[in-house]
Amino acid sequence: MRAFHGQLSDNQPIRRTLSEKQKQLRDLKETLASMKSHTAPALRESVRKRIAQLEAELTAAPALKSSPDNRAQRTTARTEEGPRRPRSRIRSDLTG
């Protein structure tokens, strides 16, 4: 079965809100703190790396939201593309 545009199986990152990122950061810090001494170093390092990424995203997030230039660019890009329309789905069993 094929995926249609926008479906979660399109191999695209999941977009999270600011509060979801904060919750994920708290959970990862708790996970890192509760890891046993015999936990694999690669696993411990990957959790630390993800914590660093989330902290960087959270510190950059307020700057991105408050920038009026960024909002203007997004709205201009949308109007240039034209209105969004859903893609029609063709059922293979009817075309047959």
Tens digit of pLDDT at every position of the chain (96 positions): 566 666 666 666 778 899 999 999 999 999 999 999 999 999 999 999 999 999 999 998 776 666 555 555 555 555 556 566 666 666 555 555
Q: Evaluate whether residue 31 is within a structural domain.
A: yes
pLDDT given for residue 14 in this prediction: 75
Indicate the Cα dihedral angle 52, 56, 58, 63, nearest 10°: 180
Q: Evaluate whether residue 96 is within a structural domain.
A: no
Q: Evaluate whether residue 51 is within a structural domain.
A: yes
Q: Are 26 and 58 in contact (CB under 8 A)?
A: no
Q: Evaluate whether residue 56 is within a structural domain.
A: yes
Structural domain including 30 reads 18-67
**C-beta atoms surrounding 58 within 10 Å:** 13
pTM (predicted TM-score): 0.55
Q: Evaluate whether residue 54 is within a structural domain.
A: yes
User: Which residue do the tokens 């047959």 mark?
Assistant: 96
Q: Evaluate whether residue 80 is within a structural domain.
A: no
CA angle 3, 6, 91 (to 5 degrees): 40
pLDDT given for residue 56 in this prediction: 93
Q: Evaluate whether residue 47 is within a structural domain.
A: yes
Q: Evaluate whether residue 81 is within a structural domain.
A: no
The structural domain count of the chain equals 1
User: Which residue do the tokens 């990424």 mark?
Assistant: 53
Q: Are 3 and 9 in contact (CB under 8 A)?
A: yes
